[in-house]
């Protein structure tokens, strides 16, 4: 059968134009909603145009017409299966107190792996500084950490002026954006089957280990704890969370022991990944504020005991929150 194109066009073009106008309306108006009659009409127009496409593809020979109908049907197909209006009730409080900690616990093994890699890096960093005097300069990328710890402590404690005066806000902003960027990179490196995530976590661990050992060896444990704990107990777990995300992504790519297809595995990980990354962002904003406005002040301005107590309190809250918040009904699947 060969269709009469002129007659076919004459008869069907109004249908296509009506569908196109409806699609344009939906496309340009954010939040445009159709009433029941329009939805029924839209459904009819989509089916009629799909049928026309099938006819043209089988019986006619007009590439422009075929392309036009394919685009029209593709757009309508997308709209028919539109999910913008499928109301996902996103309640920030519910997400914060229930979804996020439950997602964290759901992938606890990835978090432990993240922690283990960081610890290995820390051991290597500490070992390198302990056994090689030149290692410190290679491992530590920050100039202010290259001198001896006791010199720095003396300098900080004797400072008469607030060196961050008038710059705490921008310093805080820099810390937030920089740390989020680094964490996003650690997560994204999960695409390299987790190898990049391992390298990133290991390197962060190595810096942390080298700094800690340097201060401990110099007898500045109290200063170190007072300086690092207030922001570090949030910042370091946030980076571990991004590593957790990276390992979830890597696990979806590798798919060991999972019978789902690659696409299905990736699809099922999206929700959990966005939740973990959202949580990571909140933690790093908090850590940035604390580091700029609290951590940089030492005795005699702020007693170390207060800073250490505050840091330990934060850690306790974090552990309780991630470990126990939203535990009721923990067996049911994670929802957005």
Partner 1 sequence: MRTSSFQTQQVITPEGVSFSLILATPLSRFIAWVIDFAAIAAMATCVSSLLAILKIVSTDLHQALGLVAYFTISIVYGIWFEWNWRGQTIGKRLLRLRVVDEHGLPLQINQVIIRNLLRCVDMLPSFYLLGGISCLLSKKVQRLGDYAANTLVIRTPPPQEIDFSQAMSGQFNSFLQHPHLAARLRKTVTPAAARISLQALLRRNDLTPSARLGLFKSLADYFQQEIEFPEEVTQGLTPEQYVRNVVDIVYHQRAKLGDGKRAAHEHQRRTS
Long-range contacts of 196-199 (CB under 8 A, 24+ apart): 196/246, 197/114, 197/243, 197/246, 197/247, 197/250, 198/117
Q: Are 48 and 17 in contact (CB under 8 A)?
A: no
Query: Using CB under 8 A, which of 4, 11, 40, 151 touches partner 1?
Result: 4
Q: Which is nearer to partner 1, 130 or 185 (CB)?
A: 185
Listed ranges 108-116, 128-136, 265-273, 313-321: which one lies at the site for partner 1 (CB under 8 A)? 265-273
Using CB under 8 A as the binding rule, whether residue 29 contacts partner 1 is answered as no
Query: Using CB under 8 A, which of 130, 216, 266, 315 touches partner 1?
Result: 266
Give the nearest distance from C-beta 23 to partner 1 in angstroms.
10
Query: Using CB under 8 A, which of 15, 38, 48, 68 touches partner 1?
Result: 68
Give the nearest distance from C-beta 106 to partner 1 in angstroms.
16
Give the nearest distance from C-beta 191 to partner 1 in angstroms.
5
Interface mask toward partner 1 for 164-203; x: CB under 8 A? --xxxxx-xxx-xx--xx--xx-xxx-x----x-------
- 81-100 residues in contact with partner 1 (CB under 8 A) are 81-84, 88
Sort 105 into a burial class: Cβ within 10 Å, 0-12 / 13-18 / 19+.
middle
Q: Which is nearer to partner 1, 197 or 220 (CB)?
A: 197
Of 137, 113, 112, 136, nearest to 126 (Cα)?
A: 136
Q: To which H or E segment does residue 140 belong? A: none
Using CB under 8 A as the binding rule, whether residue 50 contacts partner 1 is answered as yes
> Rounded to whole angstroms, how far apart are CA atoms 247 and 237?
15
Query: Using CB under 8 A, which of 19, 45, 53, 122 touches partner 1?
Result: 53
Using CB under 8 A as the binding rule, whether residue 161 contacts partner 1 is answered as no
Using CB under 8 A as the binding rule, whether residue 63 contacts partner 1 is answered as yes
Query: Using CB under 8 A, which of 112, 270, 313, 324 touches partner 1?
Result: 270
Using CB under 8 A as the binding rule, whether residue 222 contacts partner 1 is answered as no
Residues 6+ away with beta carbon under 8 Å from 10 = none
Give the nearest distance from C-beta 176 to partner 1 in angstroms.
7
Q: How far is CA 249 from CA 28, 117, 222, 238, in A?
A: 35, 16, 39, 17
Q: How far is CA 85 from CA 82, 95, 124, 252, 262, in A?
A: 7, 20, 52, 29, 28
Residues 6+ away with beta carbon under 8 Å from 114 = 197, 201, 240, 241, 243, 244, 246, 247
Task: Count the Cβ atoms, other than its own, within 10 Å of residue 281.
Answer: 18
Residues binding partner 1: what is the number (CB under 8 A)? Answer: 71
Q: Which is nearer to partner 1, 6 or 158 (CB)?
A: 6
Query: Using CB under 8 A, which of 21, 39, 57, 116 touches partner 1?
Result: 57
Q: Which is nearer to partner 1, 40 or 132 (CB)?
A: 40
Give the nearest distance from C-beta 19 to partner 1 in angstroms.
11
Quote the tokens at residue 107: 């992938």
Query: Using CB under 8 A, which of 30, 36, 93, 161 touches partner 1?
Result: 30
């Amino acid at each position: 059968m060969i269709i009469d194109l002129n007659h076919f066009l004459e008869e069907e073009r109004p249908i296509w134009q009506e569908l196109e106008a409806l699609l344009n309306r939906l496309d340009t108006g954010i939040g445009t909603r159709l009433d029941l009659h329009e939805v029924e009409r839209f459904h009819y127009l989509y089916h009629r145009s799909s049928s026309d496409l099938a006819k043209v593809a089988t019986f006619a020979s007009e590439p422009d017409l075929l392309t036009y109908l394919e685009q029209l049907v593709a757009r309508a197909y997308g709209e028919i299966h539109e999910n913008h209006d499928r109301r996902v009730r996103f309640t920030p409080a519910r997400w914060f107190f229930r979804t996020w900690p439950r997602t964290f616990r759901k992938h606890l093994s990835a978090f432990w792996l993240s922690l283990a890699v960081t610890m290995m890096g820390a051991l290597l960093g500490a070992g390198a500084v302990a056994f090689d005097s030149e290692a410190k300069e290679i491992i530590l990328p920050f100039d202010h950490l290259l001198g001896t710890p006791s010199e720095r402590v003396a300098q900080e404690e004797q400072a008469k002026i607030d060196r961050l005066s008038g710059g705490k806000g921008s310093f805080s902003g820099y810390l937030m954006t920089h740390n989020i960027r680094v964490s996003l990179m650690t997560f994204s490196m999960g695409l390299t089957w987790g190898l990049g995530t391992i390298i990133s976590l290991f390197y962060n661990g190595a810096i942390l280990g080298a700094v800690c050992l340097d201060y401990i060896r110099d007898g500045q444990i109290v200063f170190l704890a007072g300086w690092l704990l207030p922001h570090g107990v949030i910042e370091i777990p946030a980076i571990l969370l991004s590593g957790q995300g990276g390992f979830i992504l890597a696990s979806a790519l590798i798919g060991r022991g999972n019978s789902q297809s690659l696409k299905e595995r990736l699809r099922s990980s999206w929700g959990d990944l966005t939740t973990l990354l959202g949580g990571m962002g909140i933690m790093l904003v908090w850590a940035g504020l604390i580091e700029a406005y609290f951590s940089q002040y030492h005795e005699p301005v702020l007693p170390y005991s207060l800073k250490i107590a505050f840091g330990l309190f934060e850690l306790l809250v974090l552990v309780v929150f991630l470990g126990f918040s939203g535990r009721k009904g923990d067996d049911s699947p994670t929802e957005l």
